[in-house]
Amino acid sequence: MGDMDTERDRLITALAQVAQRDRSALRQVYTMTSAKLFGVCLRISADRDAAEDILQDVYIKIWNRAERFDAGRASPITWLCAIARNTAIDWCRASRRPGMTTEEAAAQIADATPLADMAIERDQHSARLFACLDELEDRHGLAIRSAFLDGLTYAQLADRMAVPLGTMKSWIRRGLQQLKACMSDG
């Protein structure tokens, strides 16, 4: 756990330096996070070349928005993953040509990859999941993101958010119930 905290602290410090327009700090953030953020971009775009382009946009946004990062509100990797996710979703929306039906867009993608229909379905499911996560009460959404995206234990979350373990468990349970309901509505 100490290594994760050290890594988290290094990332928080690097983001603060990026906010001061420190280019070497941006390189450090890139080195520490590019593999994970590329995975987020690739999962959503389902296209390696596109994911590389999206990743460049992500780091431009990080450069421009670093001063907005608040370590008291979110872990640095959660904040960075949200930027990557939103940039990738925006790219997916923007890359659909105007006037093209969903079927035509799917058929075009299907030419590139035999499993494109499954990739589209997975991406739509991912986009729906993140939209549902965004609808949760802030602390429930943060707890679920931290538990499932950052891999924190309930005990670590309870400690970090200064609440009893039982409260944390009920927040996550309630949040997951709301997520399940939201996902089944879509």
Specify the pLDDT at position 11.
94
pTM for this prediction: 0.52
Residue appearing with tokens 């997520």: 179
Helix axes 76-95, 138-148, angle to 10 degrees: 90
Residue appearing with tokens 């928080």: 12
Round to whole Å and give the CA distance between 16 and 145: 22
106's tokens: 């799917």
Kindly indicate the confidence band of residue 32, based on its pLDDT and cuts at 50, 70 and 90. Answer: very high
Whether residue 40 contacts residue 81, with contact meaning beta carbons closer than 8 Å, is answered with: yes
DSSP state, 97? P
Q: Which amino acid is at 69?
A: F
Containing 70, the helix (H) or strand (E) segment is: none
DSSP state, 150? S
Work out the average pLDDT over 131-143.
80
- From the options 1.10.540.10, 1.10.1740.10, 3.90.1150.10, 2.30.40.10, give the CATH code of 1-95: 1.10.1740.10
Specify the pLDDT at position 124.
67
Q: What is the mean pLDDT of the chain?
A: 81
Total Cβ atoms within 10 A of residue 113: 13
Kindly indicate the confidence band of residue 120, based on its pLDDT and cuts at 50, 70 and 90. Answer: low
Question: pLDDT by residue (tens digit) across 51-101?
Answer: 999 999 999 999 999 999 988 888 899 899 999 999 998 898 888 644 444
Round to whole Å and give the CA distance between 176 and 183: 10
Specify the pLDDT at position 128.
73
3-state secondary structure of 75: coil
Q: What separation in angstroms does the CA of 179 have from each of 129, 137, 167, 186?
A: 8, 11, 18, 11
